[in-house]
């Protein structure tokens, strides 16, 4: 059993019968009274950010989680199927557990986070940036705007991304999976 002295950013703990990551923490020692630790916890299941204050020296239960490399194979009625890149073990993940399922294409790598004690998948994370080819976009008109305007483009996975006017069909772009936005053109 750990105490509040073991708290650090990114640590996974059990809090109110839920698995939570510590997003940030601050050790506070007021002039009067006992010290305490103020934390922001992010629930793995719901994604909600909770604030909690622990008394200094309070017991916390650390949970072990493991990040494992997987490769996306295909999507069917039961969910998204991934294969472990080293053991070739396959796992099925529901769409709600993936951070950006609209950008998944066959053969793409991803990391699945497992609860080490129960071997259950918690969530799936795509790389921060993925390269996708644009299948359709309206042609942009030169001199059509005074500031940087955007237009909609459909990428090879079927997702729609806002891109600058100079991007055309057939080009490859880099998309940020955390914000679902255009990042840059790939040369």
What are the φ/ψ torsions at residue 121 (nearest 5 degrees)? -70, 135
Residues 110 and 133 in one domain: no
Distance CA 165, CA 69 (A): 36
Structure tokens at 72: 């996306």
Whole-prediction pTM: 0.79
CB 60 within 8 A of CB 13: yes
Domain boundary among 62, 82, 102: 62
Q: Write down which residue in 91, 125, 159 finishes a domain.
A: 125
The encoded tokens of residue 28 equal 């506070």
Per residue in 20-55, pLDDT (tens digit) is 999 999 999 998 889 999 999 999 888 899 999 999
Sheet holding 12-15, edge to edge: 2-3, 59-62, 12-15, 18-28, 36-43, 49-55
Count how many domains the chain has.
3
Please write the tens of the pLDDT for every residue from 62-82.
999 999 999 999 999 989 999
Residue numbers of the domain that contains 164:
129-186
């Amino acid at each position: 059993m750990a105490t509040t002295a073991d708290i650090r950013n990114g640590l996974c703990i059990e809090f109110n019968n839920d698995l939570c990551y510590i997003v940030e923490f601050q050790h506070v020692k007021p002039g009067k009274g006992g010290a305490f630790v103020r934390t922001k916890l992010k629930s793995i299941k719901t994604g909600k950010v909770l604030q909690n204050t622990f008394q200094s020296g309070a017991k916390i239960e650390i949970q072990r989680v493991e990040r494992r490399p997987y490769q996306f194979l295909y999507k069917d009625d039961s969910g998204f199927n991934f294969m472990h890149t080293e053991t070739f073990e396959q796992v099925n993940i529901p769409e709600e557990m993936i951070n950006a399922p609209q950008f998944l294409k066959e053969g793409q790598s991803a990391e699945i986070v497992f609860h080490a004690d129960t071997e259950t998948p918690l969530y799936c994370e795509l790389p921060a940036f993925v390269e996708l080819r644009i299948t359709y976009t309206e042609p942009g008109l030169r001199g059509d705007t005074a500031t940087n305007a955007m237009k909609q483009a459909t990428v090879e996975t079927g997702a729609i991304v806002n891109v600058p006017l100079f991007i055309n069909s057939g080009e490859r772009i880099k998309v940020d999976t955390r914000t679902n936005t255009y990042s840059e053109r790939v040369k």
